[in-house]
Amino acid sequence: MKNLCWTLFLTLAAGLAAQDSKPLNSQTLTVIRVGALIDGKSDKPRHDQVIVIQGDHIESVSDAASAKLPPGAAVIDLSKATVLPGLIDSHTHIFLQGETPAQGGYDANILYAPLALRAARATVAARRALEQGFTTLRDVETEGAGYGDVGIKQAIAGGYIPGPRLFVSTRAISTTGGYPLEGYAPELDMPKGAQIIDGAVEARKAAREQLDHGADWIKVYMTHRSWVGKNGELVSQPTLTVEELRAIVDETHGWGKKVACHAYSGIGLRRALDGGCDSIEHGLDLDDAAISQMLKQGTWYVPTIAAYYTDWAPADTPEGRRDRLRASVHEPSFKKALKAGVKIAFGTDMGGIPWTEPMAQEFSRMTELGMQPMDAIQSATSRAAMMLDMEGKIGVVAPGAFADIIAVGGDPLRDIKALESVQWVMKDGKVFRSDLN
Ligand SMILES: [Zn+2]
């Protein structure tokens, strides 16, 4: 049954892809009648609105009662739905297909999958994201698939395949001993899921190479292994030194771009902040010093909560104890950061989570830990846009923004799970999905 559904899905997908590549007339006018509008920025929803779209952008948003409808415009009726800006996932891996141990775990992605297969799977992952209403992804490294993300981004931008707008970070950077593949015979020269550097000169060179080949962001791993310490605390192995990280940050900022840092806790987290990372990814165990430094430096926090509840090792093993500890320290860490007013952006770590799972599950994790639904929505819309330096262009339904718009049947402010069934998706003024009754 699963296979049959999949075949059907691919057939439908092929049909939609053909429609998708039609060029869009920049004068095309579309009017959307909206029942409830959560615009991504305002504190409260507005009712009975009209959105006018010209070509790929939003021309105006106004009350239905006073709206002047342009003659000749196509009208889309979403008057029974809740309309929102296209969602932004700030932490994905389209080149990763889950790390399920039964399927060979992480290593199988690199050891057995030819690059063309990985590109084909990334193409499907990009489409899956768009179907779920995610019209923008910050994809934080290809896990051994080189500059494949730059190619997928070009394919989407060129209209060859459907997908979200992508901010890509290519190969990522870590140090010797700081990334898989690992655990093989030392005589073997194994490929690595990230570009390995040692020393500030190599660090800067890696950043230059990646920026030269199209990275929009640079991704750095500031911690790697983690385990349960003597006193039951989470210990993370630090990777880059502050000097190495500073070389990367300095180079990347010079290009007008930013650095995303994977960091769990302890020494590596401190180095990440001292070295000037623009965003902390995961941040499992943020202490008070880290939180105040993030506030002072304006550092973003992309907590990726849901990812730490999947694939736990058995409870009576060191890995199993570690997996449970990660989740249990993450919860108070997120709550503290939220209370202190750290800037939080929504991120899932999809790819680490299989792409067959709902991306919007992260919203439930965030609200269960005390974040208000509107706040969680803004972390995946206007605030993520701010992190991406795209304020006003994406993550908002307002004049001048790209017409990236979605609709759901229910009210996500009452039940955040409504976002797990997005039924209507428009990107760049083109309807990609329309399943509303
Ligand atoms: Zn990740």
Would you say residue 17 has pLDDT above 70?
Answer: no
Q: Is the distance from CB of 436 to CB of 407 less than 8 angstroms?
A: yes
> Which of these ranges, 29-43, 95-109, 348-362, has the smallest mean pLDDT?
95-109
Task: Give the burial class of 287: count Cβ atoms within 10 A of its Cβ; 0-12 exposed, 13-18 middle, 19 or more buried.
Answer: middle
In tens, the pLDDT along 85-94 reads 999 999 999 9
pLDDT band at 13 (very low <50, low <70, confident <90, very high): very low
In tens, the pLDDT along 351-363 reads 999 999 999 999 9
The share of the chain scoring above pLDDT 70, in percent, equals 94
Task: Give the burial class of 116: count Cβ atoms within 10 A of its Cβ; 0-12 exposed, 13-18 middle, 19 or more buried.
Answer: exposed
Residue 185: CB partners within 8 Å, gap ≥ 6? none
User: Distance, CA 187 to ligand 1 centroid (Å)?
Assistant: 29
Rounded Cα distance between 184 and 209, Å, is 28
* pLDDT (0 to 100) of residue 250: 98
Q: How many CB atoms lie within 10 A of CB 141?
A: 31
Q: Which amino acid is at 370?
A: G
Between the alpha carbon of residue 435 and those of residues 124, 346, 426, the distances in Å are 20, 25, 12
Taken in order 331, 332, 335, 341, the sign of the CA dihedral is: negative
Q: Which residues pair with 12 in a beta bridge?
A: none
* pLDDT (0 to 100) of residue 104: 81
pLDDT band at 336 (very low <50, low <70, confident <90, very high): very high
User: Distance, CA 125 to ligand 1 centroid (Å)?
Assistant: 15
The share of the chain scoring above pLDDT 90, in percent, equals 89
Would you say residue 4 has pLDDT above 50?
Answer: no
Would you say residue 346 has pLDDT above 60?
Answer: yes
* pLDDT (0 to 100) of residue 25: 61
- Minimal CA–CA distance to 85: which of 48, 29, 22, 42? 42
User: Distance, CA 353 to ligand 1 centroid (Å)?
Assistant: 9
User: Distance, CA 308 to ligand 1 centroid (Å)?
Assistant: 11
As a whole number, mean pLDDT of residues 9-32 equals 57
- Minimal CA–CA distance to 53: which of 73, 82, 78? 73
- Minimal CA–CA distance to 51: which of 42, 43, 36? 36
* pLDDT (0 to 100) of residue 344: 98
Rounded Cα distance between 435 and 111, Å, is 39
* The token pair that represents 18 in the structure block: 């053909």
Would you say residue 114 has pLDDT above 50?
Answer: yes
> Which of these ranges, 7-21, 72-86, 381-395, has the smallest mean pLDDT?
7-21
Q: How many CB atoms lie within 10 A of CB 333?
A: 25
User: Distance, CA 140 to ligand 1 centroid (Å)?
Assistant: 6
Would you say residue 303 has pLDDT above 90?
Answer: yes
Using the CB atoms, write b or e for 44-66: b if 16+ within 10 Å. ebbeebbbbbbbbbbbbbeeeee
How high does pLDDT run on average in the chain? 93
> How do beta strands 343-344 and 300-302 pair?
parallel
User: Distance, CA 103 to ligand 1 centroid (Å)?
Assistant: 19
> Which of these ranges, 91-100, 194-203, 240-249, has the smallest mean pLDDT?
91-100
3-state secondary structure of 104: coil
As a whole number, mean pLDDT of residues 168-172 equals 98
* pLDDT (0 to 100) of residue 124: 98
- Minimal CA–CA distance to 345: which of 363, 327, 328, 329? 363
pLDDT band at 437 (very low <50, low <70, confident <90, very high): low
User: Distance, CA 58 to ligand 1 centroid (Å)?
Assistant: 32
User: Distance, CA 1 to ligand 1 centroid (Å)?
Assistant: 31
pLDDT band at 100 (very low <50, low <70, confident <90, very high): confident
State which residues have CB under 5 angstroms from ligand 1, the bound ion: 349
Between the alpha carbon of residue 282 and those of residues 3, 13, 263, 307, 342, the distances in Å are 34, 33, 6, 9, 14
Rounded Cα distance between 385 and 393, Å, is 8
pLDDT band at 14 (very low <50, low <70, confident <90, very high): very low
User: Distance, CA 91 to ligand 1 centroid (Å)?
Assistant: 6
* pLDDT (0 to 100) of residue 367: 98
pLDDT band at 146 (very low <50, low <70, confident <90, very high): very high
User: Distance, CA 307 to ligand 1 centroid (Å)?
Assistant: 9
- Minimal CA–CA distance to 78: which of 394, 417, 406? 406
Residue 18: CB partners within 8 Å, gap ≥ 6? none
User: Distance, CA 143 to ligand 1 centroid (Å)?
Assistant: 9
* The token pair that represents 364 in the structure block: 């439930």
* pLDDT (0 to 100) of residue 436: 85
Q: Which amino acid is at 87?
A: L
* pLDDT (0 to 100) of residue 27: 78
Rounded Cα distance between 172 and 222, Å, is 11
> Which of these ranges, 61-70, 115-124, 413-422, has the smallest mean pLDDT?
61-70
pLDDT band at 6 (very low <50, low <70, confident <90, very high): very low
User: Distance, CA 306 to ligand 1 centroid (Å)?
Assistant: 12
Q: Which residue has the higher pLDDT, 162 or 17?
A: 162
Would you say residue 226 has pLDDT above 60?
Answer: yes
* pLDDT (0 to 100) of residue 16: 43
